[in-house]
């Protein structure tokens, strides 16, 4: 069955969210899933807006991963 939204994008209560699991090696930091609101309504968005929002959320996810790897658990 084909998904209605692109990869890592999901709908909840009429809004669109970017949701992605952290790698297993990063779960020692206490988080399993990264979730970021895309700021778009599920019923009213353009494909270009969605792609831009997903690109921004992916960049934020990658920066979060980089920050997690550069800090120690004790901090």
Beta strand 9-12 with 15-21 is antiparallel
φ, ψ dihedrals at 70, nearest 5°: -90, -5
Task: Express each pLDDT in 17-57 by its tens digit.
Answer: 999 999 888 877 788 999 999 999 999 889 999 999 999 99
Residue bearing the bigger pLDDT, 75 or 23? 23
Per-residue pLDDT at 73 = 61
* Residue-by-residue DSSP string for 8-67: TEEEETTEEEEEEEPPGGGGGGS-SEEEEEEEEESSS--HHHHHHHHHHHHHHHHHHHHH
Instruction: Tell me the C-alpha distance between 66 and 74, whole Å.
Output: 17
């Amino acid at each position: 069955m084909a998904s209605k939204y692109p990869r890592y994008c999901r709908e909840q209560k009429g809004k669109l969210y970017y949701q992605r699991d952290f790698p297993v090696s990063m779960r020692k930091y206490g988080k399993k899933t990264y979730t970021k609101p895309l700021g778009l309504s599920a019923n009213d968005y353009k494909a270009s807006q969605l792609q831009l929002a997903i690109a921004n959320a992916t960049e934020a996810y990658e920066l979060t991963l980089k920050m997690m790897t550069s800090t120690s658990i004790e901090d």
